[in-house]
Structure 1
Amino acid sequence: MTQPRAAFAQVGSPYYAALAAVFTALVIISNVTATKGVAFGPIITDGGFIVFPLTYVIGDVLSEVYGFKAARRVIFLGFAMNALAALAFWVTVYLPAADFYTDQDHFENVVGAYTQLIVAGLAGFIVGQTINAWVVVRIKERTKERHLWARLIGSTFAGQLGDTVVFCSIAAGAIGITSFSDFAVYTALGWLYKTAVEVIMLPVTYRVIAFIKRREPTYAPSRT
């Protein structure tokens, strides 16, 4: 007997579009806020820590409900919109400044840091989100509707590790990190913090997934 395939919804509903929009906005916001290095005593991070972990929560929802290809489509959409944001910022840098505008140098500094963080963010983003979506779907193919917690936590550990190592390796210089010890703290803290946020958010993720599954007309739970 053949093993029944995991069930996923089609992408034509308003829920998919809304998740894609929020996901893309969070990615852009995270890259802007990440241009500022932040220190809490010996703990070093950047401003992206505020909302970036939520992109993985939405990535889990997309992967669980719609599957790997649909989640990857949103990942590429976020990539494209980030690139468009960087282009728009650089065009703005080279536009002639009004006589009363005195912050040109500050704006250029932020855009320069943002561009480096865009590269770091996009590289880590594609690696991490792809790993995250792949792990969710692969575990679901084995467990079907059971053990959602295993899919969410397993994908978080793997995806956030890939994302954080790639991102921090490129971004450290943009926010002024020059020593290996600071880099190690920055990377380790980023991975632990983002993973912890996703674990803490599990009850919310569960409810969002259950809500969308109930209302998606094309989602039919697979049977074990």
Structure 2
Amino acid sequence: MTESVLSGRPTQRPGESIDPGQRTKRPAAPAFATLSSPYFGILVAGFIGVMLISNITGTKGVLLFRFIHFTAGPFTMNGLVTDGAFYLFPAAYILGDVISEVYGFRVMRRLIIAGFGVLLFASLAFIITIHLPAAPFYTGQQAFETVAGVVPRFLIAGLAGYLCGEFLNSLVLVKMKQRSGERKLWARLLGSTVVGEFADTLVFCSIAAGALGISTWADFTNYTVIGFLWKTLVEILVMPITYRVTGALKRREPSYQEALRAIEAAERQDAALQPSQS
């Protein structure tokens, strides 16, 4: 009996038996789950990342377009007062549109709940970190509290607006797609944006207005309407990019192409049955 050079296992010559004690066991192959989509993980990371970063950048007040001054009825505008997340927050709705259009409402619903959990956990982590005793050499405690400090009313407003806005945005888009199929993507993006952004802005402003010092209906209306129009305008301006991203993802996502082929096959079958039924 000899030993194989490559495998290290005993080899058997003709007419020779192998001692059972000399047999070596193969190591068990490790088990791993498989990812069904190569793109979904990137979208999830982008969606939750944008929401998480927005919670920090949104703590800075920003004044844009200082040269704009006008009054129209109850609306008065002296520049555009917004926060540091104005350029990030619409991206969450754009990613939500893409995910809802390609993967459906059930997937987006689970993602919204997961994002809610991440935002809540981040807020709790900031609170805990703020209250941890600072080292003697650490001089940034006050600055850290200013940036990462969580105001309970703002936290509730942000989470409530996020849940209402994202759920309605996804639901409206999917319901419209059930009626129009692959056609009229522009209408779905616009319709879901208007409903989702309006719900988000109204809920957030209704809860947070008092904490911001807003005490009159005129100021509340101004704060809510201008914020809603600004967010909606940003999404409309980037709609061509949303179109391109959605189209590219549909072409490259294997499961989406399989679903399209299944629908086309069902339509052909229905068309073939109609003459015989008539």
Q: State the TM bucket, normalised to the shorter chain.
A: 0.7 to 0.9
- Offset, 1:15: 1.1
Q: In structure 1, what residue type is equivalent to 2:52?
A: I
What value does the CA root-mean-square deviation take over the aligned residues? Answer: 2.0
- Offset, 1:31: 1.3
Q: In structure 2, what residue type is equivalent to 1:36?
A: K
CA distance in 1, matches of 2:135, 2:197: 43
| SS in structure 1 at match of 2:137 | coil
CA distance in 1, matches of 2:191, 2:46: 23
Aligned pair partner of 1:185 in 201, 206, 222: 222
| SS in structure 1 at match of 2:233 | helix
For the Cα contact (< 8 Å) 2:123–2:150, is it kept in 1? Answer: no
Task: Flag structure 2 segments of 5+ consecutive residues without an equivalent.
Answer: 1-34, 67-77, 268-278
- Offset, 1:174: 4.6
Identity %: 51
Greater shift, 178-187 or 25-34, is seen at 178-187
- Offset, 1:97: 0.4
Q: Does residue 1:217 correspond to 2:254, yes or no?
A: yes
Counterpart in 2 of 1:133? 170
Summarize the Cα distance change of 1:189–1:87 in structure 2 as closer, same or farther, 3 Å threshold: same
Q: Does residue 1:67 correspond to 2:104, yes or no?
A: yes
Aligned pair partner of 1:20 in 38, 41, 44: 44
> 5 Å matches for 1:39-188?
39-40=63-64, 41=66, 42=78, 43-113=80-150, 115-188=152-225
| Structure with a larger share of its residues in helix | 1
Greater shift, 21-30 or 105-114, is seen at 105-114
TM-score under structure 1 length normalisation: 0.87
Q: Please say which structure displays the higher CA radius of gyration.
A: 2
Query: How far does the alpha carbon of each residue in 1:109-143 deviate from its partner, in whole angstroms, 9 at most, with x for none?
Result: 43344554332121001100100000110000000
- Offset, 1:98: 1.3
Query: How far does the alpha carbon of each residue in 1:182-208 deviate from its partner, in whole angstroms, 9 at most, with x for none?
Result: 332221121111111111111111111
For the Cα contact (< 8 Å) 1:31–1:114, is it kept in 2? Answer: no
CA distance in 1, matches of 2:38, 2:231: 28
Summarize the Cα distance change of 1:99–1:27 in structure 2 as closer, same or farther, 3 Å threshold: same
- Offset, 1:161: 0.3
For the Cα contact (< 8 Å) 2:197–2:228, is it kept in 1? Answer: yes
TM-score under structure 2 length normalisation: 0.71
Larger relative contact order (CA 8 Å, sep ≥ 6): 1
Summarize the Cα distance change of 1:113–1:88 in structure 2 as closer, same or farther, 3 Å threshold: closer
For the Cα contact (< 8 Å) 1:86–1:115, is it kept in 2? Answer: no
Counterpart in 2 of 1:7? none
Summarize the Cα distance change of 1:34–1:171 in structure 2 as closer, same or farther, 3 Å threshold: farther
- Offset, 1:172: 3.1
Query: How far does the alpha carbon of each residue in 1:12-48 deviate from its partner, in whole angstroms, 9 at most, with x for none?
Result: 3121111011000100111111112223442322222
CA distance in 2, matches of 1:121, 1:160: 13
For the Cα contact (< 8 Å) 2:47–2:92, is it kept in 1? Answer: yes
